[in-house]
Amino acid sequence: MTRTRLLAAAGASALLFGTTALATPPADTIAVGLSADITTFEPANISSRDNANIARHIFGTLYNITGEGVVTPDLAENLEISEDGLHYVYTLREGLACHDGEALTAEDAAYTFNRAKNPDNKFTGNTPGFVFSSIGFESAEALDDRRVQINLARKNPIAFGLIAEVYIHCKDSYEKMSLDEASANPIGSGPYRLASWTRGSEVVLEKVANPNSPAQMERIVWRIIPEASTRSAELIAGNVDIITNVAPDQIDAVNASGTAMVQAVQGTRRMYVGFNLSQPFREMPGGEAIQDPMVRRALQYAVDVPAICKQLLNFECVRATGIVNPPNANQSLTPYPYDPAMAEKMLDEAGWPRGADGVRFAIRFQAGRGRYLNDVNVVQAIAQYLEDVGLKIELDVMEWGSVYVPLIRQRNVGPLFFLGTGGALWSPLYDMTDLARVESGTNYTHWSDPRWFDRWADIAATDDPAAQRKIIDEMLQVFYDDGPWLHLYFQPDFYGVSNRVNFVARPDEKVYLFSTGLK
């Protein structure tokens, strides 16, 4: 065989191998296409949902909360809470092991919490930045090999659920690693360990040998595929088994492919238009009008939310009635209907009749671009609905990360603004704590109604669930009637799922594949 023929044969083999490599993932492997890059495996620095989805397979947590909001044990099998609500003592299961081969003990759990809290480490992830600040975490200590005590500065009715978000990692290995090394070499106690990470391209996890492991597949390959149409093509071609964030306009194509179907779930993220009621915004055009609860209520009738869901999100939704996800909402409330005539009548009665030019009042409406599903089209539609009842909308859509987020975090956006905030199903209080105090960082509207804010003390004063529920319902009624949000919808999530796997999407944006296998 000549050299040329040899080269040609080698090239043909490579292409053949390549074609094989592009086929369906092996029977012991599941491949997932994600929309965003992941940046770190440092457990105390993880903050994005995609990053957390991968990390959760590597790191165990003390307890687990299912997609339906049900609490199940994970590394811990028991919890005792002190009477004053400041000390949580978790008892770990027997026989736990770290990926480095060492036994996982209460000392590792305490180390996890204290390491994340240590200011020298300059961590900014979900654990120190969200969980600890929400629950007032003070310290953790190992009481013995299996019992770890978490100490809080104040009683918090949702501390348990938030502590369940902390990734437990293993002291011996982390003490030997620099922070640089730790960010790329996770040593956890979950069912999978990191096999390889090609930054910007893919992460491969392999199952840890453990007869009690809940994991079904030997390997999980997480591929980073930012472009929605490319993700859909990879799914239809059978090269990945699951994709996140299917674009609404590609749902029909995926469903028609014969190889995959789209699972649409109503998520827990609460989408709303906020009314900024702070003094500086009161002096802006439209700012005075929205101070009046009747005007805010009138505008609820002006927007056809189900039509927005159907036409722009390709999803049949039920309009939100407030700040809390449906299973935990005040069940006596019904969503505001689309009734522009009612909106106009109420605006007239509130003292904002149409002028000679047909305009009641002008107002600025701000939004970020590219963060939420079809967000620009959604805000344009809302602006049009509001113009239809006589408002003159100055729509200001800006770049999400560098412009809009700083404005939001400084509570300096509006007078109308479009936003979505993450919620949960395991407690109504989790959703409501966005507005725990008038000065809370997440009270972007500066709402200050004492019928809401004064009731937090009442909730804290009782441990009776029925009494708490009654107070919650009363607060949600106030929020519904006179609240600072124009209620929209809970953002739907679209997952493309290959016909060969038995994945069931959760409503909380978590992609956990422990029980996912082949059909």
Cβ at position 359, least distance to another protein in Å: 32
- Assigned token pair, 84: 């004053």
Cβ at position 445, least distance to another protein in Å: 14
- Only segment of 79-87, 122-130, 294-302, 348-356 that touches another protein (CB under 8 A): 122-130
Q: Any bridge partners for residue 392, and if so which?
A: 362
Q: Kindly tell me which residue out of 67, 73, 85, 129 binds another protein, with binding defined by CB under 8 A.
A: 129
User: CB pairs under 8 A, 24+ apart, for 102-105?
Assistant: 102/170, 102/172, 102/173, 104/60, 104/75, 104/168, 104/170, 104/189, 105/142, 105/145, 105/146
| Whole-angstrom distance, CA of residue 262 vs CA of residue 248 | 10
Cβ at position 19, least distance to another protein in Å: 7
Of the two residues 176 and 409, which places its CB atom closer to another protein in the complex? Answer: 409
Q: Any bridge partners for residue 497, and if so which?
A: 242, 261
| Whole-angstrom distance, CA of residue 335 vs CA of residue 487 | 8
Binding-residue pattern over the window 64 to 103 for another protein, x denoting contact by CB under 8 A: ----------------------------------------
CA 3, 8, 12, 14 dihedral sign is positive
| Whole-angstrom distance, CA of residue 480 vs CA of residue 471 | 14
Of the two residues 189 and 250, which places its CB atom closer to another protein in the complex? Answer: 250
Of the two residues 350 and 403, which places its CB atom closer to another protein in the complex? Answer: 403
- Only segment of 118-126, 142-150, 272-280, 312-320 that touches another protein (CB under 8 A): 118-126
Cβ at position 227, least distance to another protein in Å: 5
Q: What is the DSSP string of 148-212?
A: EEEEESS--TTHHHHHTTPPB--HHHHHHS-HHHHTT-----SSEEEEEEETTTEEEEEE---TT
- Map the footprint of another protein across residues 206-225, applying CB under 8 A: 223-225
Cβ at position 154, least distance to another protein in Å: 13
Cβ at position 47, least distance to another protein in Å: 8
- Map the footprint of another protein across residues 412-441, applying CB under 8 A: 421, 433-434, 440-441
- Only segment of 151-159, 228-236, 374-382, 505-513 that touches another protein (CB under 8 A): 228-236
* 3-state class (DSSP) for residue 36: coil
| Whole-angstrom distance, CA of residue 446 vs CA of residue 165 | 28
Beta carbons within 10 angstroms of residue 80's beta carbon: 11
Binding-residue pattern over the window 29 to 48 for another protein, x denoting contact by CB under 8 A: --------x-xx-x--x-x-
| Whole-angstrom distance, CA of residue 499 vs CA of residue 519 | 8
**CB of 67 closer than 8 Å to CB of 325:** no
153 binds another protein (CB under 8 A): no
CB neighbours of 296 closer than 8 A, spacing ≥ 6?
Answer: 275, 290, 482, 483, 484, 486
List Cα–Cα distances, 327 to 22, 330, 438, in angstroms: 43, 9, 26
Of the two residues 45 and 276, which places its CB atom closer to another protein in the complex? Answer: 45
- Map the footprint of another protein across residues 383-412, applying CB under 8 A: 399-403, 405-410
Cβ at position 152, least distance to another protein in Å: 15
- Only segment of 86-94, 177-185, 206-214, 284-292 that touches another protein (CB under 8 A): 177-185
Residue 235, CB-side half-sphere exposure with 13 Å CA sphere: 37
Q: Kindly tell me which residue out of 9, 14, 143, 504 binds another protein, with binding defined by CB under 8 A.
A: 14
Residue type, 299: L
Binding-residue pattern over the window 458 to 497 for another protein, x denoting contact by CB under 8 A: ----------------------------------------
Q: Which residues bind another protein (CB under 8 A)?
A: 10-11, 14-15, 17-19, 21-22, 37, 39-40, 42, 45, 47, 119, 122, 124, 126, 129-130, 133-134, 179-180, 183-184, 198-202, 223-227, 229-230, 233-234, 236-237, 239, 399-403, 405-410, 421, 433-434, 440-442
